[in-house]
Structure 1
Amino acid sequence: MVGALAITQTAGYGVLYYAFSVFIPPMSRDLGAGVAELTGAITLSVLVSGLAAPFIGRWLDRRGGRGLMTIGSLVGGLGVLAWSQVQHVAHLYAVCAVLGLASAMVLYEAAFAVIVAWSDAARRARALLAVTVVAGFASSIFLPLTGLLVDRYGWRQALVVLAIGYALTAVPLHALAVRGRGSPAHADRGEIVGAALRERPFWLLAAAFLTQTGAVSTMGVLLVSYLIALGHQPVFAAAVAGLLGVLSVTGRLVTTGLQARWRVALITAAMFGVQGLAAVLLPLVGRSVPGAVAGVVLFGLGFGVATIARPALLADRYGTVAYASLSGALALPITISKAVAPLLAAGIAQFVGYPAVMGAVAGACVAGALALVAYDRGTRTDTAPA
Structure 2
Amino acid sequence: MTANPGLVERPTAARPGTRRLVGALAVTQTVGYGVLYYAFSVILGPMSRDLGISNATAAGALTVAVLVAGLLSIPVGRWLDARGGHALMTTGSVLGSMAVLGWSQVHSAAQLYAVFVLIGVASAMVLYEPAFAVVVAVTDPARRGKALLGITLVAGFASSIFIPLTGQLVARVEWRPTLAVLAVLLAMVTVPLHGLALRRTAPVLDRAERHRRGSPGWVLRDPAFWLLAVTFVLHGAALAVIAVHLVLYLVSLGHPAALAASLAGLLGLLSVTGRVVTTLSTRWLPMATIAGVIFVGQGVAMVLLPVVGRQVPGAIACLVLFGLGFGVASIATPAILLDRYGAAGYGTIAGTLAAPVLVAKASAPLGGALLVAAVGYRPLVLCVAGACALAGVLLLLLKWRPTARAASPR
- TM-score category by the smaller chain? over 0.9
Q: CA RMSD in A?
A: 1.3
Is 2:64 aligned against 1:44?
yes
Alignment-derived partner of residue 292 in structure 1: 315
* Aligned-partner Cα distance in 2 for 1:94–1:338: 20
How big is the shift at 1:179? 3.8
The equivalent position to 1:102 in structure 2, one of 110, 122, 132, is 122
- What is the aligned counterpart of 1:74 among 83, 94, 99? 94
Amino acid of the structure 1 residue aligned with 2:123: S
Partner of 1:161: 181
Q: Output the CA distance in 2 between the equivalents of 1:181 and 1:293.
A: 44
Q: d(CA) in 2 for partners of 1:382 and 1:25? A: 51
Of the candidates 226, 229, 232, which is equivalent to residue 252 of structure 2? 229
1:117 has 2:137 as partner: yes
Count of residue correspondences: 383
Name the amino acid aligned to 1:283. P
* d(CA) in 1 for partners of 2:213, 2:92: 25
What residue number does 1:347 align with? 370
| One-letter identity of the residue aligned with 1:205 | L
Q: Which amino acid aligns with 1:219?
A: I
TM-score by length of 2: 0.91
User: Do residues 14 (structure 1) and 34 (structure 2) align?
Assistant: yes
Unaligned runs of 5+ in 1: none
Alignment of structure 1 residues 70-219 onto 2, 5 Å? 70-185=90-205, 186-187=209-210, 189-190=212-213, 193-219=216-242
Q: Which residue of 1 aligns with 2:75?
A: 55
Secondary structure of the 1:377 match is coil
Equivalent in the alignment of 2:6: none
User: Counterpart of 2:325?
Assistant: 302
Amino acid at match of 1:314: L
Q: Measure, in 2, the Cα distance between the counterparts of 1:234 and 1:187.
A: 53
Equivalent residue for 2:7?
none
Q: Deviations over 1:59-99 (max 9, x none)?
A: 00000001110000000000000001001011000000000
Higher helix fraction: Structure 1 or Structure 2?
1
Contact map agreement 1:67 1:180 (CA 8 A) in 2: no
* 1:261 shift after superposition: 0.3
TM superposition shift of 1:353:
1.2
Deviations 1:143-171 (A, max 9, x none): 00001111111100000000001100000
- After TM superposition, give the deviation of residue 184 of structure 1 in Å: 2.6
C-alpha distance in 2 between matches for 1:381 and 1:265 = 17
Maintained 8 Å contact 1:74/1:171: yes
2:392 is aligned with 1:369:
yes
Q: What is the TM-score when the length of structure 1 is the normalising length?
A: 0.97
Q: Distance in 1 between matches of 2:87 and 2:405?
A: 38
TM-superposed CA distance for 1:120, in Å, is 2.5
Instruction: Judge which range, 178-187 or 200-209, deviates more.
Output: 178-187
Q: Give the ranges of 4+ consecutive aligned residues of structure 1 lying more than 2 Å apart after TM superposition.
A: 179-185, 379-383
Give 1:324's aligned residue. 347
Cα distance in structure 2, aligned partners of 1:228 and 1:82: 35
Question: Deviations for 1:308-335, whole angstroms, at most 9, x for unmatched residues?
Answer: 0001111121111100001111111000
**In 2, Cα distance between equivalents of 1:174 and 1:181:** 11
CA distance in 2, matches of 1:49, 1:306: 18
Q: 1:28 to 1:317 in 2, by over 3 A?
A: same
Offset, 1:123: 0.4
Residue in 1 aligned with 2:23?
3
Q: 1:220 to 1:191 in 2, by over 3 A?
A: closer
CA distance in 1, matches of 2:139, 2:179: 36
Identity, % of aligned positions: 54
Which residue matches 1:276? 299
- C-alpha distance in structure 2 between counterparts of 1:192 and 1:256, whole Å: 30
Contact 1:65 1:180 in 2 (8 A): no
Match of 2:276 in 1: 253
